[in-house]
Structure 1
Amino acid sequence: MILGLLIVVTVLVSSGTGPVDVSPSEALRIIVGHLVPNMPWMLDGSITLLQDQAVWQFRLPRVLMALLAGGGLALAGTLMQAVVRNPLAEPYILGVSAGAGVGAVLVIVLGSAVVGGLTLQAAAFGGALVATTAVYLFARQRGAISPTRLILAGVALGSLFSAITSYLTITTDAQNVFSVLFFLLGSVSAVTMNQLAAPAVVLAVVLLLALTQGRSLNALLMGDEAATSLGVSVQRLRGGLLVATALLTGTIVSVAGGIGFVGLVIPHVCRILVGSDHRRMLPAAVLAGGLFLALADLLARTVAAPTEIPLGILTALVGAPFFLWLMRRKRAGRAGLNR
C-alpha cells in the first residue's frame, strides 16, 4: 500500500515537473480529464492547451514507461536470482540485456534489412532470446543447468555481446553514435502512449505466471533436491522462467534501452522489506522497481536541466553505492547477500 501511494505521488509530481508550469493537482485533473470525458475543467479554459500537451503527450507516457521498465527489470532480476539460486543474477550479468542491445544496435546502425526486416523492438527481443538460449546451452551439465556455470556463461557472453556492440558503434557514421550510446545507457524520453501497450502486457503476463509458481520458487530456495522431493519439476521451471525473463527483458530494452542495477538491487531491498516468500516479494519488487526508476527518470530530466542524463548513469550512481552499503549491513543475510 505504501509503495502504491508513493507511485501515485511520483506520477503526479513527475507529470507536473518541467519547463511548462503544472501543479500536481492540475496534472491530476488533466489525467482524469482524458480518462473521463466531458469533465468541466477540460472545457472551461482553466487548463491550457500547452499544459494539456505537456502532461498527456510528453510527461505522463515517460513516467508510465519508467514504472513499467523498472518493474519489469526488478521482476526479471527476482526470477533469475531465484531460478539460479545466486544473489548476483540479473539480466545484465547473465548477458540478456547485452544480447538485446546487439539486436537493437544492428537496426540503428545497419538498418532493419540486416535482421530480416524486423523492427527495433523485435530485433531486441530476438537478441535477448539468442543470449538466453546460448547461456542456457553453455550452462547445461549432465542434462541439468548448473547455477554456477549459468553465471559464468552469462558474464562471458555478455562481454562478447558488448564487444560486438562497441565494434558496431565505432564503425558507424558519426550521426548514429549519439543515438546508439543514448540507447545503450537507457532513456524513456521519446516514449509515446502507443508504446506502453507491449511492455504492460508482457509484464502482466510474466508476473501472473511467476505468481502461479510462487510456491515452487520458494521450494527452490532449499535446493534442487529438496524442490524435486516436493514435486517441483526443477528443469522445466528453470527453462520456462528463463524464456519468460528473456521476453520481458527484450521488450523493455527495446523501448527503454540498457538500464542496469534495477534487477540487482531491488530484489535484495524487497527481501528485507517483505521477506523471501515470493508470493509477497514478486509484487513488491514490481512496485519498488517501478518507483525507483520513475524517481530516477525525474532526476534525469531535472538535475542538469535542460540537459538530460541517461537513466543507466543515474541507476548506477545510486544503485552501486547502495548495494555496497547493503552488503555491509547486518541485514545482508536477509537480503541473500551472505550466501
Structure 2
Amino acid sequence: MMPGGLPLRARQLLVALLGLAVLVVLLGMAVGSGGLESLAQIRGDPLAMQVVRAIRLPRTLGALLAGALLGLAGCVAQGLFRNPLADPYLLGSSSGAALGVALAFVFMGGTSSAFPWLGQMGITGAAFLGAMLAVLLTLLLARGVSGSVRLLLAGVIVGVVLGAFSHILQLLNPSILQGLLSFSMGTTGFVDWYSCALMAVSLLLCLAVAWSLARVLDGLVLGEATARTLGLPLGVMQAALVAVMALATGAAVAQTGLLAFVGLAAPHLVRSIVKLRHQWLLLLSSLMGAVLLGLADLLARGLLAPQELPVGVLTALLGGGYLLWLMHRSPTFRAGRGGT
C-alpha cells in the first residue's frame, strides 16, 4: 500500500494509464495526414519538426487534457447525483455551448460590427460562456443544489429548451450549419498551445477542488440524509462540486466541441477494474478520460488518412459500444456506483 491506502491493483492501473498517456503523446507526434511516420525521420526534417511543434504536439496534449477534464467531470457528476448514467452534460452545458456557438456564428457573420466584443471572444469563448450560463440557468430553476432530482430535471429542461433555440437559429441562418456540425461532432484539430494552457489551468484547479471535496462524494454514496449525519455542510460543498463539473465541462467543450461518452465511460472503466474511494477515483477517472480521448484522436487522424474522422463520432461509437457491453453483462450496472 502506498500513502493514502492505494491498493496494488489501483497502483498498477495508475502506472498503466500514465504509460499509455506517454505512448499517446509519442504516437501523436508521429501520426500525420500521411499516416504513421518515423520519429527518427521527423527529427531530421526541420519542416516536419515545425509541424510537430506547432500542430501535432499541442493537438495531442489538448486531446489528453480535454479527456481528463471530461473524465473528472463525469466522475463528479456520477458521485454527486448518485447515478451511474450521469454525464458531464446533465446540467445543460452542451446545449448552452451549442447555442453560444450558434449565436457567435450568426453575429460574427452578420452584425459583428454591432458586437465587437463577440469577435474578440471568439467561438471558443462563446461556447464556454454559453455552457456556464446554461448551468447557472439550471441552478436558478432548481433553486440551488440541495435537491439532486430537481437539479437533474432542471438540467434536462434547460438542455431541451436551449437546444430548440439553437435549432431555430440554424433554420433561420442556414450558413451556420457547417460550422455547428463541426462543433457538434467534436474535433481537436483547432487546439493550439494557448488552448492547452487554458485547459491545463482548469484541470489543475478543478482537480484540486474535487480532491479536497472527495469526502463529500463518499458520503453522498450513502444518501444525502446519511451524509448530513456525518456533519458535512452539503449545501456549500455540493455547490462547489457543481462548479467543478461546470468549469471542467465548459473548458473542454469550448476547445474541442461536443465529445460524447468520454465523461460517462471513463469512471465506469475505472470502477470495473478497481473499487476506490472518490479521492483516487477522481484522479484515475481523469487519466482514463485522457487516454480514451487521446487514443480516439489518434484513430480519427490515422484510420482513414489523409481523410480525418470527427473524433466525437469515434468516442460515441467506442463509448456506446462499451456501455452496451456493460449493460449486457450487468443490466443493473453493478459496476456503476462508486465503492469504498
Q: Is the 8 A contact 1:107 1:115 kept in 2?
A: no
- The equivalent residue for 2:164 is 163
Q: Is the 8 A contact 2:100 2:126 kept in 1?
A: yes
The amino acid across from 1:9 in the alignment is L
- Equivalents in 2 of 1:285, 1:219: separation in Å? 19
Task: Tell me the alpha carbon deviations over residues 74-130 of structure 1, each in whole angstroms, 9 at most, x when there is no partner.
Answer: 111111111122222212233112112211221122226559534333322221222
- Equivalents in 1 of 2:55, 2:253: separation in Å? 20
Q: Is the 8 A contact 2:145 2:238 kept in 1?
A: no
- Map 1:40-119; keep pairs closer than 5 Å: 47-111=44-108, 114=115, 116-117=117-118, 118-119=121-122
- Equivalents in 1 of 2:95, 2:88: separation in Å? 8
Structure with higher RCO (Cα < 8 A, 6+ apart): 2
- Equivalents in 2 of 1:102, 1:237: separation in Å? 29
- The equivalent residue for 1:253 is 253
TM-score, normalised to structure 1, is 0.86
1:22 to 37, 40, 52: 37
Kindly tell me: are residues 228 and 163 of structure 1, through their superposed partners in 2, closer, same or farther at Cα, counting changes over 3 Å?
Answer: same
- Equivalents in 1 of 2:33, 2:293: separation in Å? 21
- Equivalents in 2 of 1:269, 1:53: separation in Å? 36
Task: Tell me the alpha carbon deviations over residues 31-50 of structure 1, each in whole angstroms, 9 at most, x when there is no partner.
Answer: xxxxxxxxxxxxxxxx2112
Kindly tell me: are residues 26 and 85 of structure 1, through their superposed partners in 2, closer, same or farther at Cα, counting changes over 3 Å?
Answer: farther
- Equivalents in 2 of 1:228, 1:256: separation in Å? 38
Q: Tell me, what secondary structure is at the counterpart of 2:258? A: coil
Gaps of 5+ in 2: 1-14
- Equivalents in 2 of 1:178, 1:305: separation in Å? 22
- The equivalent residue for 2:307 is 307
Identity of aligned residues (%): 38
- The equivalent residue for 2:9 is none
TM-score, normalised to structure 2, is 0.86
Kindly tell me: are residues 50 and 329 of structure 1, through their superposed partners in 2, closer, same or farther at Cα, counting changes over 3 Å?
Answer: same
The amino acid across from 2:237 in the alignment is L
Task: Tell me the alpha carbon deviations over residues 276-329 of structure 1, each in whole angstroms, 9 at most, x when there is no partner.
Answer: 411111110111101000111111122222222212211111111211211232
Gaps of 5+ in 1: 31-46
- The equivalent residue for 1:281 is 281
Q: How many residues align?
A: 316
Kindly tell me: are residues 156 and 25 of structure 1, through their superposed partners in 2, closer, same or farther at Cα, counting changes over 3 Å?
Answer: farther
- Map 1:63-212; keep pairs closer than 5 Å: 63-111=60-108, 114=115, 116-117=117-118, 118-140=121-143, 145-174=146-175, 176-212=176-212
Q: CA offset at residue 25 of structure 1?
A: 5.6
Q: Tell me, what secondary structure is at the counterpart of 2:106? A: helix
The amino acid across from 2:37 in the alignment is V
- Equivalents in 1 of 2:52, 2:122: separation in Å? 28
Kindly tell me: are residues 212 and 26 of structure 1, through their superposed partners in 2, closer, same or farther at Cα, counting changes over 3 Å?
Answer: farther
Q: Tell me, what secondary structure is at the counterpart of 2:302? A: coil
Q: Is the 8 A contact 1:86 1:147 kept in 2?
A: no
- The equivalent residue for 1:334 is 335
Q: Is the 8 A contact 2:33 2:305 kept in 1?
A: no
Task: Tell me the alpha carbon deviations over residues 43-77 of structure 1, each in whole angstroms, 9 at most, x when there is no partner.
Answer: xxxx2112202211111111111001111011111
- The equivalent residue for 1:39 is none
Kindly tell me: are residues 280 and 25 of structure 1, through their superposed partners in 2, closer, same or farther at Cα, counting changes over 3 Å?
Answer: farther
Q: Tell me, what secondary structure is at the counterpart of 1:307? A: coil
- The equivalent residue for 1:34 is none
Q: Tell me, what secondary structure is at the counterpart of 2:32? A: coil
Task: Tell me the alpha carbon deviations over residues 252-290 of structure 1, each in whole angstroms, 9 at most, x when there is no partner.
Answer: 111111111111111111122232411111110111101
Q: Is the 8 A contact 2:60 2:297 kept in 1?
A: yes
- Equivalents in 2 of 1:22, 1:74: separation in Å? 30
- Equivalents in 2 of 1:226, 1:328: separation in Å? 32
Q: Is the 8 A contact 1:89 1:151 kept in 2?
A: no
The amino acid across from 2:267 in the alignment is P
Kindly tell me: are residues 214 and 93 of structure 1, through their superposed partners in 2, closer, same or farther at Cα, counting changes over 3 Å?
Answer: closer
- Equivalents in 2 of 1:236, 1:82: separation in Å? 16
**Do structure 1's residue 11 and structure 2's residue 14 form an aligned pair?**
no
Q: CA offset at residue 154 of structure 1?
A: 1.7
**Do structure 1's residue 236 and structure 2's residue 233 form an aligned pair?**
no
Q: Is the 8 A contact 1:15 1:59 kept in 2?
A: yes
Q: CA offset at residue 206 of structure 1?
A: 0.3
Kindly tell me: are residues 24 and 283 of structure 1, through their superposed partners in 2, closer, same or farther at Cα, counting changes over 3 Å?
Answer: farther
Kindly tell me: are residues 88 and 14 of structure 1, through their superposed partners in 2, closer, same or farther at Cα, counting changes over 3 Å?
Answer: same
- Equivalents in 2 of 1:4, 1:272: separation in Å? 18
The amino acid across from 2:167 in the alignment is S
- Equivalents in 2 of 1:309, 1:115: separation in Å? 34
